Structure 1
Amino acid sequence: MTRIDFYTNVAQPQEFACKLAATVFRKQERLLVWLEDERALDTFSNRLWCLGDTQFIAHCRLDAAEAAQTPIWLTAELPPALQHPVLLNLGAELPPAPQHFSRILEIVGSDEAALATARHRFKAYRTLGCEIQHHDMSHK
């Protein structure tokens, strides 16, 4: 059963996404980051390379030659049959096959549009029988 982790009331979603990627990286888990489009992919990739003065997160595009040796993959399109441990959903849509992941991470900002999207996704995941965890980040 896929576990969904909703991180709500996130003040800086892109910065938080990088921190989540770093956490997954430190735990030596494989992570697929699904982004809305190529521009978002390039922007997020640059953020991961420049996470701090002495830190970067090794990553590549899903279709890169070095993907098999890289722990974090970035993509703007989910392949239909990809099985992967963890998905960080930064895309605009619900993943078409959530069961292909052991965990899905959803970041929710504090604006009304983000909350409405999160409510829709929550209902869809619950309908699919996913285990859902909620993490309120408003005081962190």
Structure 2
Amino acid sequence: MSRVDFAFGAPDRLRMACEVVRKHYAAGRPLVVYTQNSQLMGRFDRLLWSFEPDAFIPHVDAADPLAPQTPVIFTTTPPMPDMHAGHAQAPVWLINLDADIPPTAGHFPRILEVIDNKPAEVAAARQRWRAYKQDGHELFAHDVSNTAPAS
């Protein structure tokens, strides 16, 4: 089963997810970012390009021909680690931005969840926590409420 890390209390969920992507990109970790919500994915895509003026994080949609060689892949379909065929030297981690647990969660060694303080998001995160737990995943909670977003 997967290790699932919940970072709760994020001041801004998508911005914090950008910080997480930047950190893992800098460390050479291939990532898949997942949500079924194409509008949310579009917002995240635009923010990843602009959240920091000097940050460049190569990322593409899973359907793009460059996906196997790109360190960060976005998908609105069930994610799989083999989307990163060109980055097999490191285990592929999943960042879940969806309201539900990914249908392929058990295929990733690690899943990262970023949660803000909005009541609907907290409620959805609690449901995901219970679903992950019921499926036998190893769960960890991290309070990031005192983490100031980079400017």
Give TM-score, length-normalised by structure 2: 0.85
**Greater mean deviation of Cα atoms: 125-134 or 40-49:** 40-49
Q: Deviations over 1:45-95 (max 9, x none)?
A: 12112232211211000110001110100011115xx23521111112211
Counterpart residue number, 2:131? 124
Counterpart residue number, 2:81? 83
Counterpart residue number, 1:34? 34
Structure 1, unpaired ranges of 5+: none
Report deviation, 1:39.
2.2
Q: Aligned with 2:73: secondary structure?
A: strand
Q: Is the 8 A contact 1:35 1:75 kept in 2?
A: yes
Report deviation, 1:42.
2.1
Structure 2, unpaired ranges of 5+: 83-91
Aligned 1:41-56 pairs, distance under 5 A: 41-56=41-56
Q: Distance in 2 between matches of 1:117 and 1:38?
A: 18
Aligned 1:1-140 pairs, distance under 5 A: 1-79=1-79, 82-83=80-81, 85-140=92-147
Q: Distance in 2 between matches of 1:21 and 1:14?
A: 10
Percent identical pairs in the alignment equals 32
Q: Is the 8 A contact 2:6 2:114 kept in 1?
A: yes
Q: Distance in 2 between matches of 1:66 and 1:60?
A: 7
**Counterpart residue identity of residue 90, structure 1:** L
**Greater mean deviation of Cα atoms: 58-67 or 86-95:** 86-95
Q: Is the 8 A contact 1:3 1:130 kept in 2?
A: yes
* RMSD (Å) for aligned C-alpha atoms: 1.4
Q: Distance in 1 between matches of 2:13 and 2:35?
A: 13
Q: Is the 8 A contact 1:49 1:58 kept in 2?
A: no
Report deviation, 1:16.
0.4
Q: Aligned with 1:105: secondary structure?
A: strand
**Counterpart residue identity of residue 81, structure 2:** Q
Q: Distance in 2 between matches of 1:86 and 1:69?
A: 15
Q: Distance in 2 between matches of 1:114 and 1:37?
A: 14
Q: Distance in 2 between matches of 1:51 and 1:112?
A: 25
Q: Aligned with 2:10: secondary structure?
A: coil
**Counterpart residue identity of residue 110, structure 1:** N
Give TM-score, length-normalised by structure 1: 0.91
**Counterpart residue identity of residue 25, structure 2:** F
Q: Aligned with 2:11: secondary structure?
A: coil
